[in-house]
Amino acid sequence: MYIPQHFAIQDTDVLHRIIETHPLGVLVTQSPNGLDANHIPFELDRARGLLIAHVARANPVWRECGDGAQVMVIFRGDEHYISPNWYPSKHEFHRQVPTWNYEVVHAYGWLTVQDQEKFVRGVVGRLTRTHEASEPKPWKMGDSAPEYIDGMLKAIVGIEISISRLEGKAKLSQNREPRDRLNAADVLANQGDTALAEAMRTAK
């Protein structure tokens, strides 16, 4: 990924935050059939440096790659189109063009297949607790008949990715005048995109 120095994310905690708040990753793999991409919700284990997930047993990715395959996972954070009209300097000098602001993380590592019932049950349980937490009455696996859950678990396979490297890019108008960056952030906030607006306000 092309990352100008002023857009590079150096803080590991920021990289982890983007992954955890935007956990639907794009798993990019290389197989005998060429490049492939699968969209998968991941769990980040910060302490062990792992990305953990599951895929459908019918998905050929876990067989085509297998243990030790080098892979990349892309996590797209907040993003939005930026109009030059949002920059005060544009109206004075007319030397601005449209752009797109965004945050993104690329995680590189090695894949391990985990085809054990205990592993996939744990993955599903943790993902469920995380993403059901905001529900008034969170769903849990115990809400369904055990035989139904057992059948569903047999239809999936667990995967782990041991992270070897994280790289991140935050393109947040850092290369613009502060007044331009801050005014564009205000426009985004007024449109309801408060997360990207706050990232732009605090960008350095």
pTM over 0.85: yes
pLDDT for 153 equals: 96
The mean pLDDT value of the chain amounts to 95
Cβ within 8 Å of residue 57, ≥6 positions away: 154, 155, 156, 157
The span from the CA of 181 to the CA of 177, in Å, is 6
The span from the CA of 196 to the CA of 48, in Å, is 29
pLDDT for 93 equals: 74
Residue 94: pLDDT above 90? Answer: no
CATH architecture assigned to 5-78+100-174: Roll (2.30)
pLDDT for 86 equals: 95
Over residues 166-172, mean pLDDT: 98
- Nearest alpha carbon to residue 138 among 127, 146, 147: 127
Domain boundaries, the chain: 5-78+100-174
Task: Kindly state the percentage of the chain with pLDDT values over 70.
Answer: 100
